[in-house]
Structure 1
Amino acid sequence: MSFLEIVWTDEVTGKRGYLILDRLVRGAASGGLRMREGCTLDEVRDLARGMTLKEAVVYSPGDTYVPFGGGKGGIDCSPYDPEARGVMRRYLAAMKPLLETYWSTGEDFGVRQDVLDEVAAEVGLRSTIEAALRLLPDPEAALALVKAGFAVEVDGVGLADQVGGYGVAEAALAAAERLGLLGAGARAMVQGFGSMGGATARYLARAGVPVVGVCDAQGVVHNPDGLDVERLLLSRDAYGCADRAALRPTDVRLPREEWLTVEAEILVPAAMSYVITESNVVGVRARLVVEAANVPTTPAAEAALAARGVTVVPDFVANVATNAWWWWTLFGDIEPTAQASFAKISTVLRGLVAEMLDRAGSAGVTPRTAALAMSAERAEAVAARFG
């Protein structure tokens, strides 16, 4: 049972919104706000549970940051809808009492942080992380650290848009090395090219793993010899679509639904939830699936992959860096610089993946089962320490 579940109806458009607070720790929950047509209460409930796992799994007694509980917001509206901004503003106004006390939020699928910050200011919020700020002795100084981190750019892209995907890439590289894929010329396919997918592609390519395909809302771009990821990254629009004018003559365009047909050893679903299902899992050709998106693989599909010997690095491990980076910066565990951010993320993600795969191997269970045990143990440690 969740701590709190809210279904909201916009009085202007009739569109629905949802807020789930799965668990509170120290009176607070953390988790982003997504906006997409077709978003459901069950989806947001799954995402909120995932946030509880994600918060707990990175707990380290040596950090000032202590994990929160998990929460999530969702709005059933396309971000391309002309009414989308107004719907978001009215949703935030309705949720304002909870944003001021319990729920710290940020961008998620279909929501950009800069737009979210603007709309939050319009409804009278200093920030979307008030619930976290109230736990700090000097909220203004802490908020200044986060703003400083957001002001950093890394080769033309904001640091905040890089940290999550950098963590996914580090998780993928750590798992691929364990599986012996790196020495065998592993290639990657990334489904989704927004902040998470784009950064994952960038840092896999920089690590020497050719990214042979990316998929965005316009379709798939494929090159068996590897795409020019940097060129595509810097051509993206606000919703993560690469400008097709930036393609090279050897790049091939494929329909969006053919993203599973691209030959690659590493598959990174980095966009919507529930995209690998029982009906299409037979098309997965990779030996390693790294979940950059939240709940992209259904339980039945993951069971089928496990039966075929495909390793799945679960979302609440692989994509934890976006959430954790906010709090490591806010609580002063790292300086708001690219160097400090990437060093912390690499150490934590590679450590989590190593522990997860060690446990899975020794116990004869899936990586998800091992990671769930890790999260539960850390949650118990937090509860024992803070109640």
Structure 2
Amino acid sequence: MREDLLKNPVFAMAAEQFDQVADFLNLTDDIRERCKWPKRLITVTVPIKRDDGRTEMFFGHRVQHHLTRGPVKGGLRYHPAVDLGEVAALAMWMNWKCALMDLPYGGGKGGITCDPRTMSEGELERLTRRYTMEMIPFIGPEVDVMAPDMGTNEKTMGWMTDTYSTHVGHLVPSIVTGKPLTLQGSAGRTQATGHGVAFLASGALNKLGMAVEGATAVVQGFGNVGSHAVFTLASYGVKILGISDVNGGIWNPGGIDVKALRAHYDEHRTLSGFAGADAIGGAEMLEQPCDVLAPCALDRVITGENAARLKCRILAEGANGPTTPDADRVIDARNDIFVIPDILCNAGGVTVSYFEWVQNLQRFQWTEREVITKLETLLHASFEKVTGFARRNGISHRMAAQAIAIKTVADAKAARGLFP
């Protein structure tokens, strides 16, 4: 199984990052092995009736990296490229993310190999409900709490809530996060990840002595994370030069009118054809001069090949794993790019998911202002912790963030001991 996981390039990348940090921390072999490998890898078949009457079989996965510090937390994605190795890597990163933010969770991730764009709402509902039933033995508010991810949304979480609640006989809102507000979701959850990316980017600008208002930014991705990062950055007075989605990028050196772009996107569901900017290739856009570059879509887009050509001052990683280890080595050698690593930069989503879970357990709702204020407080504290640790130890921000997180998990495992 280890070899099978390591054949996946995303998991191999996460494992390489872990090994580097474990060497830095001088973890003993027994603790090292227990921290690295996931506790549970679950694969299920998910048969559903398609609208035309055919029965089609899908494969669903869930990886629970560790339950040492609490229930696992992590998203559920629907995408054609989902496989067990990718899900395991994302669960590992989520584990470090929760530990870095000092949330009482382990890391989890799930996914179904499908193309949600080709499926009707009825098919997606049947897929979600069947997957939830297959996962019933492995999930629960104190075991595994899912959330939306790529290809899923609050409606998906509503179906999961209903399926689980029907099974146990009463409403259990704490079974997932990212739910509709009518099912005791949390105010501020939808924009949390993108807001956090923008908030930390502004903090990095301040730390570098650069003005936030008038700074420039390029954002790759215009999904939930990228779009909210764009709108929040613009609200701070940052000039958005370029944005991309799955159909390509748009570019305006004078700044993109994000209000006009929002109206265009709401009507056409794509950035293509927006009159207020020119078309640009997604790869080319990453290499344009800017103060803040925020990759908020795919993993492994900053590589050893293009890292030397980056012209940003700050790299704000809104996506999971956007920068490869080869690229890290190039960036570290350059020493002119302030990296906000993914497990910190995109931690806003899981942090507000934690807030939602707490509200559900307490049966007490917080206002959006309370949620965003608490989010910014925790993000700022972790940002200062990471940058301070990096400075004191002469290491990169990524190494610092993962070292803090992995040591937190390792210490918890050592404290609990090993059950015979």
**Equivalent residues in 2 for 1:88-103, closer than 5 Å:** 88-100=128-140, 102-103=143-144
Q: Within the alignment, does 1:44 sit opposite 2:87 as a pair? A: yes
Q: Radius of gyration: which is bigger?
A: 2
Give the aligned length: 361
List per-residue Cα deviations over 1:95-148 (Å, max 9, x = no partner). Answer: 12222362110101121122332355257465674289xxxxxxxxxx998945
Q: Does 1:229 align with 2:270?
A: no
Cα gap change, 1:185/1:308 in structure 2, threshold over 3 Å: closer, same or farther? farther
- Cα offsets for 1:170-204 (capped at 9, x unmatched): 11111122223436953111111111111111111
User: Offset at 1:53?
Assistant: 0.9
Find the partner of 1:308 among 308, 311, 334: 334
Corresponding residue to 1:259 among 275, 285, 292: 285
1:6 and 2:42 are equivalent in the alignment: yes
Q: Distance in 1 between matches of 2:69 and 2:401?
A: 23
AA at the equivalent of 2:156: V
Return the match for 1:209 from 238, 243, 265. Answer: 238
Given the alignment, which residue of 393, 409, 415 partners 1:363? 393
The alpha-carbon deviation at position 382 of structure 1 amounts to 6.0
Report the alpha carbon displacement of residue 29 of structure 1 after superposing the two structures with TM: 0.7
Q: Select which of 251, 264, 273 maps to 2:299.
A: 273
Correspondent of 1:68 among 105, 115, 120: 105
1-side partners of 2:375 and 2:38: how far apart?
A: 29
Shift of residue 244, structure 1, vs aligned partner: 4.5
Map Cα deviations across residues 281-337 of structure 1 (whole Å, 9 max, x no partner). Answer: 344221211111111222222222222222221111111111111222432599522
1-side partners of 2:180 and 2:128: how far apart? 25
Q: Give the SS at the match of 2:380.
A: helix
Q: Distance in 1 between matches of 2:242 and 2:70?
A: 43
1:52 Cα deviation from its structure 2 partner: 0.8
Letter in 2 for 1:318: C
Verify: 1:53 aligned to 2:89, yes or no.
Answer: no
CA distance in 1, matches of 2:238, 2:197: 13
SS in 1 for 2:116: coil
- C-alpha displacement of 1:265: 2.1
| C-alpha contact 2:247 2:271 (8 A) present in aligned 1 | no
Aligned position for 2:12: none
1:7 positional shift: 2.4
Q: Is the 8 A contact 2:215 2:239 kept in 1?
A: yes
The one-letter amino acid of 1:208's match is: G
Q: How does 1:61-210 map to 2 (within 5 A)?
A: 67-82=104-119, 85=124, 86-100=126-140, 102-118=143-159, 120-122=161-163, 124=166, 126=171, 129-130=174-175, 147=183, 150=186, 152=187, 159-182=188-211, 185-210=214-239
User: What amino acid is aligned across from residue 233 of structure 2 in structure 1?
Assistant: L
Partner of 1:286: 312
Q: Which segments of 5 or more consecutive residues in structure 1 lack a partner in the other structure?
A: 60-65, 133-142, 153-158
Displacement after TM superposition at 1:8 (Å): 2.8
Q: Which runs of 5+ in 2 are unaligned?
A: 1-36, 48-54
3-state SS of the aligned residue for 2:237?
A: coil
Q: 1:200 to 1:127 in 2, by over 3 A?
A: farther
- Give the secondary-structure state (helix, strand or coil) at the position aligned to 1:160: coil
Question: What is the alpha-carbon distance in structure 2 between the residues aligned to residue 52 and residue 210 of structure 1?
Answer: 34
CA contact (8 A) 1:35 1:75 kept: yes
One-letter amino acid matched to 1:113: E
Instruction: Answer yes or no: is the 8 Å Cα contact 1:28–1:131 preserved in 2.
Output: no
TM-score under structure 2 length normalisation: 0.76
- What letter corresponds to residue 175 of structure 2 in structure 1? E
Deviations 1:27-50 (A, max 9, x none): 521100112121222211110011
Please name the residue that 1:63 is paired with. Answer: none
Q: Give the TM-score, by structure 1 length.
A: 0.82
Q: Does 1:317 align with 2:344?
A: yes
SS in 2 for 1:31: strand
Q: What amino acid maps onto 1:337 in structure 2?
A: T
One-letter amino acid matched to 1:344: K
Distance 1:188 1:3, change over 3 A: same
Judged with a 3 Å threshold, the aligned counterparts in structure 2 of structure 1 residues 280 and 88 are, in CA distance, closer, same or farther, namely farther
